[in-house]
Amino acid sequence: MGIEEDFYGTIKFKNGEEIFAKIAASEEETRTVLLISCPIMVFEVKKRDGSVAGYKVEPWLKTTTEDMFVLDMDDVLTMSESSDIHMITMYQSFVRQSDTSSRPSVTNNSNQKLNREMGYISSVSDAKDILEKIFKKS
């Protein structure tokens, strides 16, 4: 009994969900559980021609600040260890950003000036015109 060495891997649940996380297995008295750290969901972002433009990473559970979860193996369809450096790097980067970024309060942002690095800056009417043109083209 005890916790096995942790590894990066993908878990596919019986309900169809798929997550990537740092995983450790633990043998309990009558069952095996998984301890997962900072689980994420990865979605492909596709271009109009169907090719993959990149990936979108989101936390598995969005309404909690916890980063460690216990899963019963009865809920797992399959699991595989990952040695994909690109995937592991993307995961580690997301976890680092989640750890260092706290949700800023209104008082912290009151002196912050808008700049191009924050995204596109436009008026509501300009944004409306652009969105209407995109809609008409599709």
pLDDT confidence of 104, banded at 50, 70, 90?
very low
Give the mean pLDDT of 39-67: 89
CATH T-level assignment (fold) for domain 2-101: SH3 type barrels. (2.30.30)
CA distance 135 to 127: 12
The confidence score (pLDDT) of residue 51 equals 87
Give the mean pLDDT of 20-45: 90
pLDDT confidence of 3, banded at 50, 70, 90?
low
Instruction: Name the least confident of 8-12, 27-31, 62-66, 128-132.
Output: 128-132
Of 122 and 93, the one with more pLDDT: 93
Give the domain ranges of the chain: 2-101
Of 19, 18, 38, 31, the closest CA to residue 74 belongs to 31
Whether the per-residue pLDDT at 20 is higher than 60: the answer is: yes
Give the mean pLDDT of 63-89: 91
**Contact 59/42 with Cβ under 8 angstroms?**
no
pLDDT confidence of 60, banded at 50, 70, 90?
very high
